[in-house]
Amino acid sequence: MPLSSLKQGEKAVVTALAGGSGFERRLRSMGIKEGKVICLDAKHHFSGPLVVDVDGRQITIGRGMASKITVRREK
């Protein structure tokens, strides 16, 4: 499922990044990579950005980017 499908407060594990090499490099530089546990802190209204927690840091990403990040809900 895409990261953008998570609900606020849910944790998930990143399983895949579905973009080009520049896209993947940018996400990896922010700490978002396969196997990493992330938490969706906030989901802004309409088509606004998402705020995710990665290793205790809050990162804001657009919905387009979030739709290219595949995650699996953590139990």
How far apart are alpha carbons 25 and 11 in whole angstroms?
A: 23
Residue 21, phi-psi category: left (phi > 0), alpha (psi -120 to 50), beta (remainder): alpha
What pTM was computed for the model? 0.91
Model confidence at 17, pLDDT cuts 50, 70, 90, reads very high
The reported pLDDT for the residue numbered 47 is: 85
Q: What confidence category does residue 61 fall into, taking pLDDT thresholds of 50, 70 and 90? A: very high
